[in-house]
Structure 1
């Protein structure tokens, strides 16, 4: 390739498309040919031709001008392309393709996919949460206990990870019951604890304080209180 040819290749530029287009076009009910045609329309527009003819599109595709005409008609009917009026600087009216509806559909599809992913992730977390409780309790949860778990998540908006942390705190404290766990969650929420890191930090600080109290009691020959862990129910 000669240098002049290489410079010409650079002048042709490149076309940038969102990766979501490649992952979502099938879910948008677009065929591969329709997708390529849309990309060709986009490229023509970037080169200053906002209303390429079917023949011009066909010249870049493995489809006839007739097929391109039919695809354009289908894309307009599906609401992916609009034909709008434009005006040149000297006031001459012309027609052009608008891909705004196409981008709007892609954005809607992308947001819907992310929502579905979050819902699925939430379902997995909830299933795992129920499993953790049943493993710690050594039995299936009762309907009332299942309802309480759902209430913690849906009404009190506790993250499943925080609920697991409260369960762990109850296990460590040797007070494995829902009333105790509910009190832990209540205290954490009252103190603005929303993450696992905050919960761990809160527990460390309390245990350090508790350890200092026991040390002071030992130094003054006072019998230490036989409470090795934080009793949330007495708060």
Structure 2
């Protein structure tokens, strides 16, 4: 890349950083499904947190939320009501007597309380089972070893991919491990869309990730193309992947 290209890239990074960064609880990304949150509800929470942290907007309008999510106002309003009903967020009011104005802001104490309670329960369970210190970590390592160790999925058996509970718990962490960095909110939204909108099995998503690793094309667009191709050919699990691959290659071993 020439110096002009590097300057352009650097200016782009600088512009992006100048626009601010939001701090999102990793526990939310990792455990949102355990809290019975959908991917779209989680993304909405992320946007609410981002509005507060980056733009200083504590009570974004439905129109502002529509602009960043691309979803209809009735759908957003329904999800906000559900989040409030389930105790993840609440609305605090305040009055500015000098300006004679009423302010409202979202309160996230419910979300943090639920996350803290869930994590405390998990830690207590691990301690009772005598696995404190290596329980959740070894679980992720074991899943990663089973899924990304050994031969490529084309010749694999899919062993270690049959536990949806374990897969759900470690899906985001496996992606971050393979990419070697934290996932962006957009990448988290992509994974959530595969799960909640496209209804791809977690097993299939991880097989597609494994395919991209072995192909040396580790980016979300390539993984999405793999999933779309499999979907069009009714590939739904590890056995289907193996059969499809053998058929595509002319009935190899």
- What interval of TM-score do these two structures reach, taking the shorter chain for normalisation? 0.3 to 0.5
TM-score (normalizing by structure 2): 0.44
Q: Taking CA–CA contacts closer than 8 Å with sequence separation of 6 or more, which of the two structures ends up with the larger relative contact order?
A: 2
| Structure ID, larger Rg | 1
